[in-house]
């Protein structure tokens, strides 16, 4: 249930709503605006309550039932577009933010070359997987701790915030010390224990869409992170599984305007894992920006032929540079900068 307070409602009136909800065993999330305060009342049995229980309290403007399963990620809870700030880089503002780098951290020279290339081309955040959840247990699983140390070193050298995937609740704490953004991968989008753990870690999180999950399931997964009081959530569309097999996954371009209507959270797009092939990545990246995405997550490798993971979908340094130049007029056409 969403309780909208009257403009100028007093702190006592707001607190009285929260106290009433708590006395009924319900959870409360406050959104204290300068102008207007909204109180979200959460709990499995809110559906059985009469809205009048809150409607009669002083200072209450309206009480709305939330029929959608997601609550905290909804525009009904918070309307203004959120901007997530990571070491001075904003995700969700007017400027398009590009995160780029190799699929996996392979060595110091590979990572620092990647940082140099993507930074020179205009990317603001460096990506690189240290823990790689692979489809087969016999594939390269990442450099793990050594990979994290390389990320930290290269972060210092190039002054670029880094993003890396977390796969295990036990790694969350340590990874949040090494990385500026934690990535929850597609295969873990509904790993609810992991979502709560990254919520408690309190650092920015990129939540990738599960490739067999609906937009509603995705936003409900975001609620797990938000419910821990961590509002630094960035959504990432990365393609879904369909009957089409000419691409690795089908990039769901429609999810961009759908999410933008439903949620205030920043949304980026990963064209690399959707395409599965370097030749298709630029077109998908441009389409994503044209459709309203706030940023991109792109795999770039100094030498894709030598990549240990996802070489086929990784852009070469020159292809990435060209794409960044080509994105500029598209961003400007939709009122953004890059
Ligand atoms: C990745 O970003 O390297 C990755 C494994 O992505 P996804 O979880 O979207 O497959
Ligand atoms: Mn990859």
pLDDT of residue 70: 93
Chain segment 108-135, per-residue pLDDT in tens: 999 999 999 999 999 999 999 999 988 8
Pocket flag, ligand 1, residue 304 (CB < 6 Å): no
How many A from CA of 273 to the centre of ligand 1?
A: 7
Give yes or no for a contact between 28 and 42, defined as CB atoms under 8 angstroms apart: yes
Task: Please tell me if the CB atom of residue 142 comes closer than 6 angstroms to any atom of ligand 1.
Answer: no
Query: Mean of the pLDDT values across residues 136-144?
Result: 94
pLDDT tier, 224 (very low <50, low <70, confident <90, very high otherwise): very high
For domain 84-333, give the CATH number: 3.20.20.70
Nearest protein Cα to ligand 1, atom 1: 103
Q: How far is the CA of 175 from the centre of ligand 1 (A)?
A: 17
282 lines ligand 1 (CB under 6 A): no
**By alpha-carbon position, which residue is closest to atom 3 of ligand 1?**
103
Mutate to test the pocket of ligand 1, among 273, 281, 311 (most ligand atoms within 8 A of CB): 273
CB distance 208 to ligand 1 below 6 Å: yes
Task: Say what percent of the chain tops pLDDT 90.
Answer: 92
Q: Is 286 in the pocket of ligand 1 (CB under 6 A)?
A: no
185 lines ligand 1 (CB under 6 A): yes
Ligand 1 pocket, 132 CB below 6 A? no
Averaged pLDDT, 100-113: 98
Best of 188, 247, 270, 281 for a ligand 1 pocket test (most atoms within 8 Å of beta carbon) = 270
Establish whether residue 164 lines the binding site of ligand 1, counting it when its CB lies within 6 angstroms of any ligand atom.
Answer: no
Given a contact cutoff of 8 angstroms between Cβ atoms, the answer to whether 192 and 224 are in contact is yes
Q: Which ligand is nearest to the CA of 132?
A: 1
Q: What is the pLDDT of residues 34-73, one digit of tens each?
A: 888 999 998 877 767 888 999 999 999 999 987 788 999 9
CATH superfamily, with its number, for domain 2-64: Phospho-2-dehydro-3-deoxyheptonate aldolase; domain 1 (3.30.70.1140)
How confident is the model over 229-277, as pLDDT tens digits?
A: 999 999 999 999 999 999 999 999 999 999 999 999 999 999 999 999 9
pTM of this prediction? 0.87
Find the angle CA(312)-CA(317)-CA(109) to the nearest 5 degrees. 90
Q: Where are the domains of the chain?
A: 2-64, 84-333
Geometric angle at alpha carbon 178, from 285 and 218, rounded to 5° = 45
Q: Return the pLDDT at 45.
A: 72
- Is 171 a residue whose pLDDT tops 90? yes
Model pLDDT, residue 128: 98
Q: What is the pLDDT of residue 50?
A: 84
- CA of 238, closest atom in ligand 1: 9
For ligand 1, say whether the CB of 100 is within 6 Å of any of its atoms: no
Using a 6 Å cutoff on CB, does residue 188 contact ligand 1? no
| Structure confidence at residue 49 (pLDDT) | 80
Q: Answer yes or no: is the C-beta of 248 below 6 A from any ligand 1 atom.
A: no
- Nearest residue (CA) to ligand 1, atom 9: 186
From ligand 1's centre to the CA of 81, what distance in Å?
Answer: 25
Kindly identify the ligand whose nearest atom is closest to the C-alpha of 248: 1
């Amino acid at each position: 249930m969403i309780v909208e307070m009257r403009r100028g409602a007093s702190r006592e009136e707001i607190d009285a709503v929260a106290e009433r909800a708590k006395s009924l065993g319900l959870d409360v999330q406050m959104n204290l605006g300068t102008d207007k305060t909204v109180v979200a009342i959460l709990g499995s049995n809110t559906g059985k309550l009469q809205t009048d229980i809150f409607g009669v309290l002083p200072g209450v403007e309206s009480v709305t039932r939330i029929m959608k399963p997601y609550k905290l990620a909804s525009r009904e809870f918070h309307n203004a577009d959120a901007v997530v700030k990571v070491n001075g880089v904003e995700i969700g503002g007017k400027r398009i933010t590009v995160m780029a780098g190799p699929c996996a951290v392979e060595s110091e020279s590979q990572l620092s070359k990647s940082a140099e290339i993507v930074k020179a081309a205009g990317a603001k955040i460096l990506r690189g997987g240290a823990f790689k959840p692979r489809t087969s247990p016999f594939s390269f699983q990442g450099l793990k701790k050594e990979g994290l140390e390389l990320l930290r070193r290269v972060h210092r050298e190039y002054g670029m915030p880094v993003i890396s995937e977390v796969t295990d609740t036990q790694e969350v704490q340590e990874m949040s010390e090494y990385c500026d953004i934690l990535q929850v991968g597609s295969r873990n989008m509904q790993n609810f224990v992991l979502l709560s753990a990254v919520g408690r870690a309190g650092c920015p999180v990129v939540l990738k869409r599960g490739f067999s999950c609906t937009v509603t399931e995705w936003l409900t997964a975001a609620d797990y992170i938000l419910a821990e009081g961590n509002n630094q959530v960035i959504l990432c569309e990365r393609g879904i599984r369909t009957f089409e097999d000419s691409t690795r996954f089908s990039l769901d371009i429609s999810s961009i305007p759908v999410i933008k209507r439903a949620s205030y959270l920043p949304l980026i797009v990963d064209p690399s894992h959707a395409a599965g092939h370097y030749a298709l990545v630029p077109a998908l990246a441009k389409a994503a920006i044209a459709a309203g995405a706030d940023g991109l997550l792109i795999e770039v490798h100094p030498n894709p032929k030598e990549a240990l993971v996802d070489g086929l979908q990784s852009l070469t340094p020159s292809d990435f540079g060209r794409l960044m130049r080509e994105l500029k007029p598209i961003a400007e056409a939709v009122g953004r900068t890059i």
